[in-house]
Structure 1
Amino acid sequence: PKLVLAPPIILSLIRSAYASREDLFDMALEAHDTVKAFVRGWLLEPVKDILNTVRTGAGEGMIVHKEGVTADLDSLERMSLSLAKDHLNYSDVQLRELSAQVKVGDITPVLKLYEQDIRAPVKSAMTGTLLRTLFIQIQKAKVDIDQALFGIDKLLKSQELTFAFVGVAPAFGIVYLSLGYFRGLWTSRSSGAYGGKLKRTNAWFIMRCEDQQCAHHHALIMVARRIERLLTLDATTGDGKMLSTRAAGLLLVSVAHLQSYAEKHLPKRSRLREGFLQDVDDLSNPALTRQQKVRVVERMWRSWGHTLGWGRL
């Protein structure tokens, strides 16, 4: 059926692709532009911004600079001291105390003077200190806003590098998953034969253990030495031709692993699978002696070792 249906299907696909060649070309260009924009906008530019942040530090691009906040605070201090000196008749000691209060945001004397002025707002506006106290409060509000913005800006700058890495992480995740997917497609064609390298490695370790009388039901590398030492110390029965009950049981476990490997990963109705299963059956045959089973293992190495790639593992 494949030989009959494949040529017409392939010919139809070729004709359809040729008829839609302009659309396919446009799709290829759009895909190229999309990938290019993704790499430039979501990988290169964010990485460049991260490097710039690391190189320049937190002094660039700030909303409010520390010098501006200090200048506004000094202006507020001078305005408050001038008002206290002109209308409150403060001494030098009181002026120093007021200066310390203004630096921490306390302008209580100015507010008390403002409270007195608003009792007669028209008169105070014309001849009193109402306007000066209002301007001082406006300057105080400006200082408070600048200090708040400076604190927020400092907090954002301290976390700027973290935000940059969080922003670029999804793009790198997409690239990593995509590369892993295509790599899996590429390697599965070569390494997926006969169950893949992992399954062939497990079967190879089981064969290695059987050849050294150290069958192990898991066939793991990390426990191979422990199982090998355990089974090497296990003495054979009688004249040494037959395995002990314990060694025979462990051998059956390994044989079950080999049989499961062949049934799951070797091609069905193939000479490779049939011959491999025949040798596995010989290993589980209780009528064979220990030396005969060793020769079966040697035959499996000669017959299937090169085909299954055990020599390259």
Structure 2
Amino acid sequence: MSFVADQVRRIDNQLDRLQLSSFTARSDSWEGRTFTAQEAHDPATASRISELQLLVKTLSATTYPRNPLIAIDRVRTLLNQAKISSTCTTCQGFDQESEDTSITPSSDPTYEHELEWLVVQKATAQVYGQVLNTILEQTIPLSNDIYYWDDILGSYRYSGLYSIQTSPLRLWRWSQEVYADARQRGGALAEDFTQVSLTERWKQFYWLVKEAVNERSLLDVQKRVVSPLARVRNEARKKQDALKKLRVMNANALGVLLGEGLSNECNNDEGTSSPHEISSLKEHKHKWRASVTKSISLIDAVLSNVNDAELSIGSFDNAIDSATTNDPYFKIQTGDTAMLRPAEVADRLKDLLSNRLPFYQTTFREATKKSGRPSRLIRYWFPAIALLLSSGTILRIVVNRKAEIITWIQEFGSTVIDFWTNWVVEPTKKVIGTIRHDEGSEVSIMSKKSLEGDRASLERMVVDFAKDNPNGTTMGEAELADLKLKVKEGDLTPVLKAYEKDLQKPFVGTIRGNLVRALLIQIQKTKVDVEVAMGGIDSLLKSQELVFGFVGLTPGILVMIGVSRWLSSMFGNRAGLKRGEKKGHMIKELRNIDRILAAATPTDFGELFYKDHGLLLCEVHVLRQSASRLFPRQVFRDFLEDIDDLVDIRTGVQRQMKVVDRIRWAYAKWL
């Protein structure tokens, strides 16, 4: 959606409001109700009215919420279907008046006549929007071609590359000049060609070509003073200047259409009011009809002169003034529209769609083709030929190393699959299992029953040792239970006492005592202590099991993100620009808008000239398109209000500069 769509909606809404006011005023009048009833009794008239009402609805912008602009061919078809002619009662009254001045047309035009005018007005609004949109869409891409020539002029490397790219074209032009010169020289010898042999003809032709080449070489002696690279840069500069002129002319045309066309009528205070009084209603109707005819005349004049190569930028406005001054449609005043037939206006509108607009599009394409960037065939012929010449060698290498290439592809595929399985799928399964407390996915460095078995074995060993060495006292069940409790707490006093006693006489204790047995019990105790420590570490790992799962998954995710970004950057297109690049484009557009406003010379009323207004609208259109894809919906609505303030030239250049500053700080979060 662009500001052109907003303009068409605004104009269409004003026409609808005017029609509703007409219906309200007519419903309050008895003559109006009687007049409508008389039309309803005639089947042909009723059918005609129904057909016109359907066409009005089809041409209305409210019928198409997303895009109010109807295709040009569709508008032309609807105008042909309307069959607007002079057969209605009101138009026949006009014909009688032209034959007999004593007869005056009815002061109250028929409803059919009103609907025909409404069809013409709705169609004019659509044509007006299509012309604005066509000029806008063709002017904006010119900036890219201008930037292309900036690159050529800003680097000798690019200038040399451009010279290589366009060398076939220069060779072709030089060959045509040589051929034309040789053909001109051979005109005197044409009579002798029929009297000599084929060999002599070829010798004479070769001599003519050689003479033409030698003479052209002498003519090019002065050009040799300048290097070929300088000539190429001079050619690029001329094409860039032609594109700049074309861009300014189209921007000027855009400003003229917005400043003098239907948008101007809709923007002023009188145009936006909805009158209800009969006298005021008729005045507004005739005023809108005069605006429609003037807009058609203005569109015709703009499309006829905008691509005129002989016109300069300064003389464009004078050419428009001259064309509109000689156009009777532009001279029509509010009181003259009562005698104007809608059929004539419709014919003029169809002529615009069939002739003027296609002529403008054709001449614009020819101008951009002549001065725009070269085609892709010219820009890439050298690498294409190099690829074609080396295709045999590449094919031979592929055939000779077919097995190695297939093996490499298979290994690469296996590596990718194994990486995906081992570093993405399996860690993901483990993380999911950890979240669901799956026992098979728990992190553990020792078995669950290991500590319990070793501790029970230690208790039995200590109890048996105490039974075998009672130290003069008999141990009952209570003493044994107390001993087991102490062993669980790590107390091995009976074993340690025996160990200390036997350690006084090691050799005797080893042979006759319990030194070895006490030592083995202590080894079991050490094993249990180690397992207790390992159990603490195991509990710590289980408490952080989810963290370790994500740590294992992180390398695979990072690699996948890096590969996906690389692939998107390699194979992505301009429609999939990154968010940061979109922000950069918006900042660039704001810079261009600021430059246009800063460099503009305002009128005596402090407003922009049409040329600067058109350039501003082109930049604002691109800015608005970028913002629609970047800003949230509610923020974008606020942004549209600021954009409307920015393009309103009635506020003056100073206020427009303040709007640019407001956009910078208000939307800095997204810029």
The alignment's TM-score, normalised by the length of structure 2, stands at: 0.31
Partners of 2:551 and 2:465 lie apart in 1 by 52
Residue 149 of structure 1 pairs with residue 149 of structure 2: no
Partners of 1:81 and 1:304 lie apart in 2 by 95
Counterpart selection for 1:15 from 376, 392, 410: 392
Q: Is the 8 A contact 1:50 1:164 kept in 2?
A: yes
Q: Is the 8 A contact 2:602 2:609 kept in 1?
A: no
Residue 43 of structure 1 pairs with residue 424 of structure 2: yes
Alpha-carbon offset, residue 176 of structure 1:
0.8
Amino acid at match of 1:100: L
Partners of 1:104 and 1:110 lie apart in 2 by 15
Counterpart selection for 1:184 from 566, 569, 572: 569
Distance 1:127 1:283, change over 3 A: closer
Partners of 1:52 and 1:283 lie apart in 2 by 64
Partners of 2:442 and 2:617 lie apart in 1 by 72
Render the CA deviation track for 1:272-306: whole Å, top value 9, x for unaligned: xxxxx8xx2x7623453455317556423655666
Counterpart selection for 2:446 from 64, 86, 96: 64
Render the CA deviation track for 1:54-100: whole Å, top value 9, x for unaligned: 34148857453343322322332233234334422265565555433
Render the CA deviation track for 1:120-156: whole Å, top value 9, x for unaligned: 4555455543454234223323322332333333333
Counterpart selection for 1:33 from 396, 399, 414: 414
Partners of 1:104 and 1:29 lie apart in 2 by 62
Distance 1:110 1:52, change over 3 A: same
Partners of 1:157 and 1:36 lie apart in 2 by 30
Name structure 1 gaps, 5 residues minimum. Answer: 207-256, 261-276
Alpha-carbon offset, residue 13 of structure 1:
4.2
Q: How many residues align?
A: 240
Among the aligned pairs, what percent are the same residue? 29
Amino acid at match of 2:582: K
Render the CA deviation track for 1:232-282: whole Å, top value 9, x for unaligned: xxxxxxxxxxxxxxxxxxxxxxxxx2178xxxxxxxxxxxxxxxx8xx2x7
Alpha-carbon offset, residue 157 of structure 1:
3.5
Alpha-carbon offset, residue 173 of structure 1:
0.9
State the partner residue of 1:169. Answer: 554
State the partner residue of 2:592. Answer: 258
State the partner residue of 1:288. Answer: 603
Q: Is the 8 A contact 1:200 1:310 kept in 2?
A: no
Greater Rg, structure 1 or structure 2?
Answer: 2
State the partner residue of 2:355. Answer: none
Partners of 1:60 and 1:198 lie apart in 2 by 47
Distance 1:13 1:190, change over 3 A: farther
The alignment's TM-score, normalised by the length of structure 1, stands at: 0.60
Partners of 1:78 and 1:30 lie apart in 2 by 59
Partners of 2:411 and 2:466 lie apart in 1 by 72
Partners of 1:104 and 1:165 lie apart in 2 by 38
Counterpart selection for 2:615 from 294, 300, 312: 300
Alpha-carbon offset, residue 115 of structure 1:
1.8
Q: Which moved more, 1:19-28 or 1:66-75?
A: 19-28
Partners of 1:200 and 1:122 lie apart in 2 by 93
Distance 1:296 1:142, change over 3 A: same
Distance 1:156 1:90, change over 3 A: farther
Q: Is the 8 A contact 1:58 1:158 kept in 2?
A: no
Q: Is the 8 A contact 2:446 2:535 kept in 1?
A: yes
Distance 1:15 1:104, change over 3 A: same
Counterpart selection for 1:76 from 458, 466, 479: 458
Distance 1:120 1:160, change over 3 A: same
Name structure 2 gaps, 5 residues minimum. Answer: 1-163, 166-377, 629-671
